[in-house]
Structure 1
Amino acid sequence: MLRNELINDEQLLAQVQLALDEDIQSGDVTASLIPADKEVIADLFCRETAVLCGKDWLTETFKQLDEEIKVHWQANDTDEIKPDQIVCTISGSARTILSGERTAINFLQTLSGTATTTRNYVDVIKGSNANILDTRKTIPGLRLAQKYAVSCGGGINHRIGLYDMILIKENHIEAAGSIEAALNTALQKNLPVEIEVETLKELQQALEAGAQRILLDNMSTDTLTLAVTINQQFSEDNQVDAAKLEASGNVSLETIKAIAKTGVDYISVGGLTKHLNAVDFSLRFRE
């Protein structure tokens, strides 16, 4: 996915501006100790194996501080990078580079961390028919950025927010009165619809009510396997397309392979974006 297909330039600019304002405010009092005319070249290293993501955020950080700063990239978003690999070289005012360093790396380490975690999950289930999905469990203000990072890691974006897809959960069903009632109302909308079920009985009710995408919440692998069989049998008996099934809950790198083997179409992983493992980057001035 191209970055601007998910987050446009204006949105990215605003994210960077907010981060810089938070950090610098009235001025970088430490960088002011450096001579104003001091020019440097700095190399940005990665200290571990990772998937790179966040080039545009780093570049925009220095651009907002000083358009004369030059950033030369030696790797691209989605690339696997190795320990001690130089990912970019930055040249220009020492003061400006020092002032923007932390903000720039914060974006890069966060988004690369999300992309790397996603790639780890994708690699574990390689060869299965399942796809990895993200969730709305994101860092406030960085949802679109993190969802872009998920795509860089090979995952698929679930709904972006509450506005682009209907996801009927337990409390919605309770308020509506039944699975059938909730689905009947939702299917009249011109939006994708998914419904959450917690038992095989609820799965059957959802299928009979016309659900085409069903979230199987916190089911064991044995129950997930039965759910896939029930879904396929319902499709054959009623000559309709099989519903897409999504497994959710208790998903980890240790459990996901077994979940994928059940035959579900999607596995949603909240940990892609909420259990952040930032990638270690280091900026070094050349002597």
Structure 2
Amino acid sequence: MGGPTGGTSAWESPQTASGGGCGDACGCGGDEGAYELDPLTCGLDPDLAALLVAAGLDPVQVEDIAHLAVEEDLDQGVDVTTVATVPEDAVATGDFTAREAGTVAGLRIAEAVLSIVCTDEFAVERHVEDGDRVEAGTTLLSVTTRTRDLLTGERSALNILCRLSGIATATRAWADVLEGTKAKVRDTRKTTPGLRALEKFAVRCGGGVNHRMSLSDAALIKDNHVVAAGGIAEAFTAVRAEFPGVPIEVEVDRIDQIPPILAEGADLILLDNFTPEQTREAVELVAGRAILESSGRLTLDNARAYADTGVDFLAVGALTHSSPILDIGLDLREDHGQGPQGAADDAAREDR
């Protein structure tokens, strides 16, 4: 079984749930003092919340995202198609099924979305786990609940599940290419606003590791910081003086910039747009005195060439900003389709 578990290095963001309180849309109503609640006691089913925490996600944040997704889809109204075609007391079982091969991520988040919509309790049968590789036709998750609720929450749940599974699938392709080397594929902060924690979780599901989660986790001195500070050494010294306990990464685009950075004590050096040959030269020059990360020019076709130089990380922003979705659908089982429900079955397959 695959999964987003494992240890972290000093340059891999911690896989623990962050703190935080309930937003206005939270299931607890956002009462005063809610920020002091344990995340496991707020809104979501405790067992589901515990699974999210174990995956390194904050249940409160997941619940808020679920509310936003559903509320955006309903726009203060109702699902007019479903209300018109499905009897209020109808119950159905729906199967979330992969329509193409890939790596799954976001199943528990999809459950959280459905839990926001479902007015009655619902039964869930989990067939695979986040991080698992699946083939086309694999049933991922089966849910039995009121048909109206299932169809109303379908698209919101699928939007997140398909998006995160697409990221995990793309990451897995990179991880497979790098297998057998010490290099790991790593994400960037090029994430969808509001979904960073979920998208970085998907990277972990695909076998990648996370760079910093925010601007406060670590310093990354890039060309504009160097210009503003008056030089690389000046920028490094300023960060070290202001935030002595923060790891510092420095971006370079030439070999000759590396020795002075090493002398300053940089923890990590980002090799920007280096060729594999230049990267190998940098690895030999640094000789283990700093962690090295390649960025720019990277493709699946040349990833192995970079990894074979001995570099530690390959930074790939495309994991989160350009990965296509993994096609996943929800189909109601035929044995639940009677009368008006038959039309609901057809609507479910349209996935609109």
TM-score between the two structures when normalised by the length of structure 2: 0.77
Match of 1:235 in 2: none
Any unmatched runs of 5+ in structure 1? 233-240
1:20-169 matched pairs, under 5 angstroms = 20-25=70-75, 26-33=77-84, 34-66=86-118, 67-169=120-222
Q: Which runs of 4+ in 1 moved over 2 A?
A: 1-7
Percent identity (aligned): 37
Structural RMSD (CA)? 1.2
1:202-241 matched pairs, under 5 angstroms = 202-232=257-287
Q: Which amino acid aligns with 2:324?
A: N
> Is structure 2 residue 245 aligned with structure 1 residue 198?
no
Q: Which amino acid aligns with 1:35?
A: P
Distance 2:208 2:69 in 1: 26
Q: Deviations over 1:130-179 (max 9, x none)?
A: 11110001111110000011111111100001111110000001111111
Match of 2:343 in 1: none
Distance 1:50 1:286 in 2: 23
Q: Which has the higher contact order (CA 8 A, sep 6+)?
A: 1
Distance 1:51 1:99 in 2: 26
Aligned length: 279
> Larger deviation: 184-193 or 264-273?
184-193
Match of 2:80, SS state, is: coil
Q: Deviations over 1:110-142 (max 9, x none)?
A: 111111111110000111111111000111111
Q: Which amino acid aligns with 2:178?
A: I
Match of 1:30, SS state, is: helix
In the alignment, is the contact (CA less than 8 A) between 2:186 and 2:211 conserved in 1?
yes
> Is structure 2 residue 59 aligned with structure 1 residue 9?
yes
TM-score between the two structures when normalised by the length of structure 1: 0.94
> Larger deviation: 61-70 or 81-90?
61-70
Match of 2:294 in 1: 247
In the alignment, is the contact (CA less than 8 A) between 2:262 and 2:289 conserved in 1?
no
Match of 2:320 in 1: 273
